[in-house]
Structure 1
């Protein structure tokens, strides 16, 4: 096998056998270090080693992957649009005048009554609510305009003052829920109508329950306090990477807008498909009435259109992840310091909707199926169907869905980097992380919760400011709380999309770091200084030690 006295040639940049130390802990003394073991993937054949070293961003032309799923998706879309156009052209215009049809016993059919009165249109008096609607529309428009500078300001602050923003936001994770809990209790107690409809006993029970939830949240923060410093560094790295690719803030919302435009004709087709049918008589208790009977193909078209819309939505989400991963990975592997890759977003879009479009469709289909099956399982759980067989089936389905989520964790990120097919990307990603003792399950999940908490704090402060301004400049009264609630929902929806982008940036940088570690290179030193402190996969490490000791 080789001379045991010869020094071992390092294959990886880091010693994978020694666990990484958190930022807040001190490293162990040299004499306490565990015995050195060979790299996790041993001494692979020369061909395999060369294959590992070639894993990097594929700048060259890419082959089309997973074409059957792209063809299947196009068939769904063409059938949806084709039958939709048919439903518009062959609609029955008598649907709107159904009330004017009566049963004719002579012809045993429904005929139009010539003396029937025209339909009674209900006139809504909107003058009373015009003031409320005007304030609501202006508030939502201003909020939508403010979301852009708020996102950029939050990104800038997270890039330069990550630690200050995180530690300043942590107390508000507790103080804001306490404020709202006490505020509603006092407001309901003071209001006679609320206190009459909501007795004191129930108000106290709700108050105590919310305080218990806040206590659990406080315990979670305290229990994970030792990981805050590492999370701050990870968020800082992701913010820096995203700030170097600000074009994503234009491209990704444009993709959502394109999805809305794509949805508009399908919604119109669904409306017109209901008009395909005829007016027929129906007997009930000896009396005949005229009812509308849809054509038999209409329910099938509804199912087809809804499935197409769901698949398109999940595929668009995966396309966004693909574009983010492709853009960030090009920034990561670029050798020049502080330089932005040219046309990186354009090439990522071209790959996502070109050679890798089948991979995106397959990933979207898997996510769509998982979401639908999970919804069915949750519905069955709520119905509480008895039986041990039902319980076993639910457990098996949950295990299967968890396995698919595990498989899909970094697959689309790897496909965006290398251009591989879906199954190849899933296998190669798992092997890549396994060779380098990295976990395929855990990146740093607390970063998502911290970002979500920061978004909640910013949105809550904005909602309080909106409510104060409305009470000062308008006479909406209690309706100002409803307007502020809608403004809060709109802002938190946009900022949640920002968190979604940050999560995908973190995952992409993690995969790029794994590729760097596998190749023994350092493309971004600041990334390695942070990600090297992430927990390693203990199971993989124990297997390596076992094989090394010959047990």
Structure 2
């Protein structure tokens, strides 16, 4: 069965013009089974179309992009090592160089070398003394607070996952009022505190405080409107989050692998940053004339700006590749769980996903990462042009074309990497097959359930805000920070919300992967996970279609 799942001739059947355009939701009738066309697989290959997780051996895909990425990385490291050994140790010692009228060049004056070095060492000592003379109590409390927050974030994430798995309905309905009450509390609190504080009231006049207060209340009103407008989809969202949390709880090793991948990216970045620093040391002092006076000026080698562009491009592409690799690993692990038997979980599923991600499918991940980089860069250029208020019909047409292109790429890339992780196909093949798969089964490639992401984001905000308030109360009771306790509490809130945002990102990827697996099930007329079908069958075909889920289905 594994060999059949990876057979490209079966995948090619999707592109046949005779492929049915209706979902295969029901089992074939008896007459269909008895027909000669059904009994002869070669007469119509689409009759036995099977798309499932490819457990068999996979071949390398998108090799040109893999070689291009490797070439950029090797060039970055190669020229970086060259910059270290080719550096000019006189960088920064401009005072030790003087203009020689005889040779019309800058020559090093050994008399000032030691003085210059001593000056720089003295300056460094003074700067170090200024930096180290900050408040030691604030630094100590801040470091301890962040360390404790980082340690507590691990059991905190697991607790949130278990609560979402077993008590999703209670958690969501308990947090929904807090989505509004917490912002109202913080808005009123800062307004009153700033009014009572003379320094704050002097820095921010009453008119500006009222303006900020009203603006925040308008944002809160928008949040209330979003909740009311999507109230009919709350029950469906609860079930989707519950199913995704259950699937994620079956693959808890992802919370070890994914942070390690992020840590690996940081380690990978470290030498590149060092290379960028040493690249500045490649150059020489050249004479420059100003108002008839000659002095020596540092000039970088001509290749240094090009190396900066190369290194930055490599770092951006590597970041996008790491993000897509995490999605690939999540999709591979969840897909193996989905297509396994009810009572069995595949062993070493995360290891096999990592092996495929760093092996046969690495080129596919590079393509996806490159497309993400292009989309982000082009979108930043378009947004910058819009902020500059550039007038003209040509600029307007160009912006519309760019937005249409970016929307098409987002549409194309939505589930492509998830499908590639399941089948092991190349990027373009996966994109086309995903579109055809969802089209045949009347599913949307854009809409899964965006409300789930908004609710999860709101839950993260509520929990992290509650933690920040508790942190501030503890600091006020055990330390003498005073007003600095607000700063420490805010930094702890930022750290926790970043970690929980990563948790939400993982859960979103799980939801998308289960959606693709559900589409594959519908295409085959199969049911691998009954609890998934009972929930995902209620997803609307388009954003304007309301869910037909009966609210009391949760109590069934």
Superposed, 1:479-518 pairs within 5 Å as 479-518=484-523
Shift of 1:391: 1.1
For 1:376 and 1:536, the matched residues in 2 are separated by 33
Which residue does the alignment assign to 2:273?
A: 267
Give the Cα–Cα distance (whole angstroms) in 2 for the partners of residues 357 and 329 of structure 1.
Answer: 18
Is 2:23–2:441's contact at 8 Å kept on the other side of the alignment?
Answer: no
Question: What is the CA deviation profile of residues 47-90 of structure 1, one whole-angstrom value per residue up to 9, with x for unaligned ones?
Answer: 342463x1000000011111100000000001001100110110
Mapped contact 1:147–1:494 kept (Cα < 8 A): yes
1:283 aligns with: 289
Q: Partner residue of 1:216? A: 222
Partner of residue 404 from structure 2, selected from 387, 395, 399? 399
Match 2:104 to one of 100, 108, 111: 108
Equivalents in 1 of 2:43, 2:516: separation in Å? 24
Over aligned residue pairs, what C-alpha RMSD do you find? 1.8
| Counterpart in the other structure of 2:261 | 255
1:105-160 Cα offsets, whole Å, 9 max, x none, are 33322233344333141242434422211111111111111110110000000000
Inter-partner Cα distance in structure 1 for 2:134 and 2:273: 32
The answer to whether residue 24 in structure 2 is matched with residue 12 in structure 1 is yes
Verify: 1:459 aligned to 2:464, yes or no. yes
Residue 4 of structure 1 corresponds to none
Q: C-alpha separation between the residues in 2 aligned to 1:205 and 1:259?
A: 43
Offset at residue 101 of structure 1 (A)? 2.0
Whole-angstrom CA distance in 2 between matches of 1:258 and 1:320: 12
Residues 98 and 296 in structure 2, CA contact (< 8 A), matched pair in contact too: yes
Match of 2:369 in 1: 364
Residue in structure 2 matching 1:134, options 136, 140, 148: 140
TM alignment of 1:514-525, pairs within 5 A: 514-525=519-530
Which blocks of at least 5 consecutive residues in structure 2 are unaligned?
A: 1-21, 28-37, 546-556
| 2:67 corresponding residue in structure 1 | 71
Q: In the aligned structure 2, how far is the partner of 1:359 from the partner of 1:111?
A: 53
Determine the C-alpha separation between the residues in 2 that align with 1:381 and 1:536. Answer: 33
Select the residue among 398, 410, 418 that pairs with 1:413: 418
Counterpart residue number, 1:526 = 531
Query: How far apart, CA to CA, are the structure 1 residues paired with 2:231 and 2:350?
Result: 37
Q: 1:329 aligns with which of 328, 335, 358?
A: 335
1:10-63 superposed Cα distances (whole Å, 9 cap, x missing partner): 972359xxxxxxxxxxxxxxxxxxxxxxxxxxx9995342463x1000000011
Residue among 184, 188, 193 paired with 1:182 = 188
User: What displacement does 1:467 show?
Assistant: 1.1
**1:49 alignment partner in structure 2:** 46
1:330 and 1:198 mapped to 2: Cα distance? Answer: 57
Shift of 1:102: 2.5
- Select between 282-291 and 150-159 the one with higher mean Cα deviation: 282-291
Asked if structure 1 preserves the Cα contact closer than 8 Å seen for 2:94 and 2:297, the reply is yes
Query: Does 1:149 find its partner at 2:150?
Result: no
Partner of 2:554: none
Aligned residue for 1:413, secondary structure, equals helix
Q: How far apart are the structure 1 equivalents of 2:43 and 2:527?
A: 23
Match of 1:58 in 2: 54
TM-score (norm 1): 0.88
Determine helix, strand or coil for the equivalent of 1:290.
strand
Kindly indicate whether residue 164 of structure 2 is the aligned counterpart of residue 158 of structure 1: yes
Whether 1:91 aligns to 2:91 is: no
Report the equivalent of 1:313: 319
Q: Is contact 1:327-1:348 (8 Å) kept? A: yes
Q: What is the aligned residue count?
A: 502
Do 1:245 and 1:340's aligned partners in 2 also have CA atoms closer than 8 Å?
Answer: no
Contact 2:62 2:426 in 1 (8 A): yes
Shift of 1:538: 9.5
CA distance in 1 between partners of 2:101 and 2:193 (Å): 64
| TM-score between the two structures when normalised by the length of structure 2 | 0.88
Distance in structure 2 (CA, Å) of the matches to 1:315 and 1:534: 30
**Offset of residue 232 of structure 1:** 0.1
In 2, the alpha carbon distance for the partners of 1:361 and 1:374 equals: 20
CA offsets, 1:490-524, max 9 Å, x none? 11111111011000000000000011111111110
